[in-house]
């Protein structure tokens, strides 16, 4: 996809989506974290992949030559290659992806998507890999303790905040324990993280970054799309019978929230 096409697509994602994508950007590299927090643009580059994988192996305890480690490496190496293809004009391995370019890439992918089934294969593999990282005991379900540990050690949220936030997150992501946070449910929530245009919805808890500032984030204005652009469903990515409970006086109706969603 040409850079001109990416830039043209950018206005079609909401301000809240851009905010979430910035957290995702910082999740991958120390350069992104340092520079973004220094009010610079920040960037990711190929060397960040090795640092990211070391962080994953330290967290999970996976041996470097294990199948889980190799699979994770392959998924994220492919992802970094996609970033290079979409942003670099060079054929060599030296490339950088700025925060602005990162947002532009997602702005070219997300508009028109209704759920996981609309995403390219490389994107559908990312939440699967992230789920395996979080599911440390390998039982196929993320529990409150695993989520809390992920927030604290991988997202670097203060322990006291991570403890309380993980309780709120599990309540929202499982409808107060009604549904297990298994891979299928996590994939739908990850899709909501990418596609949700407002602060309402369980996707805001993927990186644990938003509950503490929900009041401020709820004031975000949507970025206007192209003329006659139809309203996009926020939670069209959730299971048919999933009805998240929002602990807010301004809880929207299910119609405003995007309906019950579709299965893959």
DSSP string, 97-134: EEHHHHHHHHHHHSTT--SGGGS-HHHHHHHHHHHHHH
Q: Tell me 66's DSSP state.
A: S
Does residue 75 lie in a domain region? yes
> CA 12 to CA 46: how far, in whole Å?
28
Q: Are 124 and 186 in contact (CB under 8 A)?
A: no
Does residue 28 lie in a domain region? yes
Does residue 263 lie in a domain region? no
Q: Cα angle vertex 156, ends 214, 126, to 5°?
A: 80
> CA 61 to CA 56: how far, in whole Å?
8
Query: What is the pLDDT averaged over residues 149-158?
Result: 93
Q: Tell me 180's DSSP state.
A: -
**Using one digit for the tens of pLDDT, what is the confidence trace for 110-143?**
999 999 999 999 999 999 999 999 999 999 999 9
Does residue 262 lie in a domain region? no
Q: Tell me 91's DSSP state.
A: S
3-state secondary structure at position 143: coil
Query: What is the pLDDT averaged over residues 153-172?
Result: 93
> CA 23 to CA 253: how far, in whole Å?
28
> CA 251 to CA 218: how far, in whole Å?
11
Comparison of pLDDT for 226 and 103, the residue scoring more: 103
Does residue 148 lie in a domain region? yes
pLDDT higher than 90, residue 31: no
Comparison of pLDDT for 95 and 131, the residue scoring more: 131
197 contact partners, CB below 8 Å, separation of at least 6? 13, 14, 16, 17, 222, 232, 234
- Structural domain total, the chain: 1
Query: What is the pLDDT averaged over residues 209-234?
Result: 43
DSSP string, 184-238: HHHHHHHHHHHH--SS-SGGGGTTT-SGGGHHHHTTPPPPP-STTPPPPPSSTTS
Q: Which domain holds residue 72?
A: 3-257
Looking at residue 101, which CATH number applies to its domain?
1.10.238.10
Which of 108-117, 183-192, 246-255 holds the top average pLDDT?
A: 183-192
Does residue 155 lie in a domain region? yes
> CA 173 to CA 191: how far, in whole Å?
13
Does residue 150 lie in a domain region? yes
pLDDT higher than 70, residue 57: yes
Does residue 86 lie in a domain region? yes
Q: Which pLDDT does position 123 carry in this prediction?
A: 97
> CA 199 to CA 204: how far, in whole Å?
7
Q: Are 115 and 236 in contact (CB under 8 A)?
A: yes
> CA 69 to CA 71: how far, in whole Å?
5
């Amino acid at each position: 996809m040409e850079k001109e096409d990416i830039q043209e697509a950018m206005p079609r994602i909401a301000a809240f989506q851009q905010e979430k994508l910035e957290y995702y950007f910082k999740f991958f590299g120390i350069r992104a974290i340092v520079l973004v927090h220094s009010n610079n643009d920040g960037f990711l580059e190929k060397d960040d992949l090795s640092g990211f994988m070391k962080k994953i192996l330290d967290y999970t305890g996976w041996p470097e030559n294990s199948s889980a480690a190799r699979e994770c490496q392959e998924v994220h190496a492919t992802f970094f290659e996609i970033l290079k293809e979409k942003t670099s004009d060079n054929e060599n391995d030296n490339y950088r992806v700025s925060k602005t370019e990162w947002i532009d890439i997602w702005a070219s992918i997300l508009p028109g998507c209704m759920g996981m089934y609309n995403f390219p294969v490389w994107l559908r593999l990312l939440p699967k890999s992230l789920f395996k990282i979080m599911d440390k005991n390998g039982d196929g379900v993320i529990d409150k303790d695993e989520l809390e540990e992920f927030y604290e050690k991988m997202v670097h949220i203060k322990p006291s905040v991570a403890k309380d936030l993980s309780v709120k997150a599990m309540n929202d992501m499982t409808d107060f324990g009604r549904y297990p946070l298994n891979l299928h449910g996590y994939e739908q929530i990850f899709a909501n993280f990418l596609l949700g245009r407002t602060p309402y919805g369980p996707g805001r808890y993927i990186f644990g970054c938003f509950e503490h500032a929900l009041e401020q984030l709820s004031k975000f204005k949507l970025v206007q799309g192209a003329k006659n652009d139809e309203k996009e469903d926020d939670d069209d990515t959730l299971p048919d019978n999933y009805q998240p409970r929002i602990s807010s006086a301004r809880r929207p109706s299910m119609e405003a929230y995007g309906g019950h969603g579709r299965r893959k």
